[in-house]
Every structure is written in structure tokens, then in C-alpha cells.
Amino acid sequence: MIIFQGVSKGYKSNGHELLALDNVSFKINPKEFVSLVGKSGAGKSTIIKLLTGEEEPTKGRIIFGSYDVTKLKTSEMYQMRRHIGTIFQDFKLLPEKTAFENVAFALEAAGRPESEINELVPKALDMVGLSSKEKNFPREMSGGEKQRVAIARAMINNPDVIIADEPTGNLDPINSNDIIKLLLKINELGTTIILATHNKDVINNLSKRVISLESGQIIRDEEEGKYILF
Ligand code: ADP
């Protein structure tokens, strides 16, 4: 369970305080697929940064499973982050590593033995349909393929939650659709998905919960929501 309770986040900017989030409350149950939508600057990334502990709220409480996110010691923060996989608009793959090595890196960082790495990485690449690209470098792959490697990397430590921050931002509609289908499949297998996007078409074809943000406030929170622009 993820809980945001009365969360506000202010940033100092040119001597003024800007409220990036203004008294935001919501709950996300295990295995939900939730989209955060809103225009650029609405507060989507701020929610993600607060959830992963990258930023601290000015006010309010944030719970991730058994962790009280605002009260964690550094070591507990690292423990918590092992339950979260992240995917970004710009993929964040290591350019000098192959697809296999990019995915393996996440396991090496967690101190897993080579035998396990050699077993798990091919499985993860197979799940995203990229077995044939194991030895390819990011520069040899399309945007859609790079994002699938990033998804394999995010899934490799078997996280409870995948956070996808504008994952289709650099992709054409066909590749975007493939990435969303993959996230739906991962969700069906039991992983919670939090998808931040301003891609209207993606949202309107999903029929999943949508939390709409405007100027740091939740203006709608609907099951089978749509992306409504005014
Ligand atoms: P979104 O992800 O929906 O585009 P953000 O959460 O990035 O929105 O931003 C919300 C608001 O907070 C924006 O007005 C943005 O300019 C501001 N903001 C975000 N990060 C910072 C920061 N590090 N310093 C100052 N202002 C910030």
C-alpha cells in the first residue's frame, strides 16, 4: 500500500516559495495500475521524487508498504528502493554496455552471484521480447527496444512497484503502444504500476485508474479515468 496524506512540497525559486504539490492525498493498493496525468509542471515528477525519497515533503506523510518514507535512515532508504523499479523517458541505459550487461548491472549492484545473473538476465530479456538483442549496444537499438531493455532492468530485482515517468515520451505511437502493453502484462503478473504521463492517447485507451493533477492539486481521481483537457 502506498499512502500520501496531506502532502505538500514547496520549492524556493527566486526568493518565492512555489508549491509544487499542495495538500495531496491518495492511496494506491498493491497490484493497481495508476496513471498520474497533468500538464508539464503539474506535479507528477514531484510525487515520484517524494515516493522514492529523492525529495522530502514540506508537509504531510508518505507511506510505502512498511516504510514511513519521511523518517528513514539512509540504509533503510536503500532497502526500500529495492522494492521499486523505475523507467524514464530517456531510458538511462549505460551506452558502453550491451543489453545483457545493462540488465545484469542491476543484479551486480545488488551483489548477486554470476550463476544467478546468467540465469535471470536472459529470462528478463525474453519477457520483453529482446532475446535476440542480448549483445547489442544501446546505439544499435531503436527507442522502443531501449525502453524494453530499461523495463527488463527495472523488473530484474522483482520489485513490488514499477514507476514509469513519461516512458513513451521519446517513442512513436506504435512503440508507445507496445510499451504500455508490456506494462499491462507486468501489472497482470502482480506488480503495481505508477505511470506518469501527459500522453492523452495512451491514457484514453487504458481504462485504468487516473489521478489528474493541476497546479500541484488533485483535481480528479477516477477508476477507468480519461485524460480530460480544458
Ligand atoms: P511535472 O512532472 O508534472 O511536469 P514537476 O513535479 O516536475 O511537474 O513540477 C511541479 C512544479 O515544481 C513546477 O512548477 C516546477 O517548475 C517546480 N519544480 C520542480 N522541481 C523543482 C526544483 N528542484 N526547484 C524548483 N522548482 C521545482
- Position 212 in a domain: yes
Domain with 207 in it: 2-222
Helix (H) or strand (E) holding 185: helix 173-188
- d(Cα 164, Cα 195) in Å, to the nearest integer? 5
- Position 110 in a domain: yes
How, if at all, do strands 84-88 and 161-165 pair? parallel
Of 207, 197, 204, nearest to 44 (Cα)? 197
The CA dihedral of 50, 52, 54, 57, to the nearest 10 degrees, is 20
Give me ligand 1 centre to Cα 157, in Å. Answer: 29
Find the mean pLDDT for residues 158-180: 95
- Position 69 in a domain: yes
- d(Cα 140, Cα 41) in Å, to the nearest integer? 33
Rounded percentage of the chain residues whose pLDDT exceeds 70:
99
- Total domains present in the chain: 1
Helix or strand or coil: residue 70? helix
The whole-number pLDDT of residue 226 equals: 83
CB 94 within 8 A of CB 101: yes
- Is the pLDDT at 218 greater than 60? The verdict is yes
- Position 230 in a domain: no
Helix or strand or coil: residue 148? helix
The whole-number pLDDT of residue 138 equals: 98
Question: Could you report the per-residue pLDDT of 51-79, keeping only the tens digit for each?
Answer: 999 999 999 999 999 999 999 999 999 99
Helix or strand or coil: residue 138? helix
- Is the pLDDT at 229 greater than 70? The verdict is no
Task: Give, rounded to a whole angstrom, the gap between the first and last alpha carbons of the chain.
Answer: 32
- Position 229 in a domain: no
Question: Could you report the per-residue pLDDT of 21-39, keeping only the tens digit for each?
Answer: 999 999 999 999 999 999 9
User: What cell numbers appear for 99 in the block?
Assistant: 543489453
- Position 154 in a domain: yes
Give me ligand 1 centre to Cα 215, in Å. Answer: 10
CB atoms within 10 A of CB 105: 17
The whole-number pLDDT of residue 219 equals: 96
- Position 196 in a domain: yes
- Position 228 in a domain: no
- d(Cα 11, Cα 216) in Å, to the nearest integer? 12
Nearest C-alpha to atom 22 of ligand 1 is from which residue? 11
Atom of ligand 1 nearest to the CA of 47: 6
Give me ligand 1 centre to Cα 63, in Å. Answer: 22
The whole-number pLDDT of residue 15 equals: 87
Task: Specify the length of the chain in residues.
Answer: 230
211: CATH = 3.40.50.300
Which residues, other chains included, contact 77 with Cβ-Cβ below 8 Å and sequence gap of 6+? Answer: 53
Annotate 100-123 with DSSP letters as a single string: HHHHHHHHHHTT--HHHHHHHHHH
Residue 124 CA from chain centroid, whole number: 17
Helix or strand or coil: residue 60? strand
Question: Could you report the per-residue pLDDT of 81-122, keeping only the tens digit for each?
Answer: 999 999 999 999 999 999 999 999 989 988 899 999 999 999
Find the mean pLDDT for residues 36-46: 94
Helix (H) or strand (E) holding 192: strand 192-197
Nearest C-alpha to atom 17 of ligand 1 is from which residue? 20
